[in-house]
Amino acid sequence: GNALGRELRNVDEAVLRTEEIDEGAEFGGLHHGAFIDHAQFRLGWFLADHDPDHDADEALHLLGAARSHAQENRDLGRVAACDEKASWVKAATGDYDAAISLSRSAVAVFTSIGDVDAAMVAECNLAGQLISVDRDGEGMSRYRDIIRRAQEIGNDYLYATVSTRLADELAKREDGA
């Protein structure tokens, strides 16, 4: 009883404090729109991760809103991140053409802004999508290239993750042969 009551009071106080915030207020130099954008992005990301089939429309709507806001603010990294996550949703719903197009866009933007790790992660997702539509040669080639680049830059996590994906794909082929 008491612990729950304290938690509810803390929530009520937080809500009251946010209601008192001036609409034009800035936080740490950022307009409150940046916080709304971040919330839309994170919620869209959450929905895409947890149940993209069920919440696809809502996830795409939230990611689209976050992307539009990021584009208005010239935040290319966030634009690419929204595209990459939307590609997951599109792939989960079977729209692989849209998924592949969004993934290619994310790879290009991440590369253009010099975010090598994010570009390789987006490219890994693209490779998986290509394999899903029987473009195995291109997908497997991308996996091998990412593994080589991850090793060159010392990204052990990406190296291990993509090596595992490639090994899984090769095992599937061997089992099917």
Give residue-wise pLDDT tens across range 138-159.
999 999 999 999 999 999 999 9
In this prediction, residue 25 carries a pLDDT of: 36
Task: Encode 105-152 in three state secondary structure.
Answer: HHHHHHHHCCCHHHHHHHHHHHHHHHHHCCCHHHHHHHHHHHHHHHHH
Which position has the higher pLDDT, 41 or 96?
96
In this prediction, residue 35 carries a pLDDT of: 46
pTM over 0.75: no
Q: Retrieve residue 45's tokens.
A: 């990301």
In this prediction, residue 98 carries a pLDDT of: 95
Say whether pLDDT at 127 is over 90.
yes
In this prediction, residue 48 carries a pLDDT of: 54
In this prediction, residue 89 carries a pLDDT of: 87
Q: Retrieve residue 32's tokens.
A: 């409150």
30-69 pLDDT, tens digit each: 444 444 455 555 555 565 555 555 678 878 888 888 888 8
Residue count of the chain: 177
* Percentage of the chain lying above the pLDDT 70 cut: 68
In this prediction, residue 28 carries a pLDDT of: 41
In this prediction, residue 59 carries a pLDDT of: 80
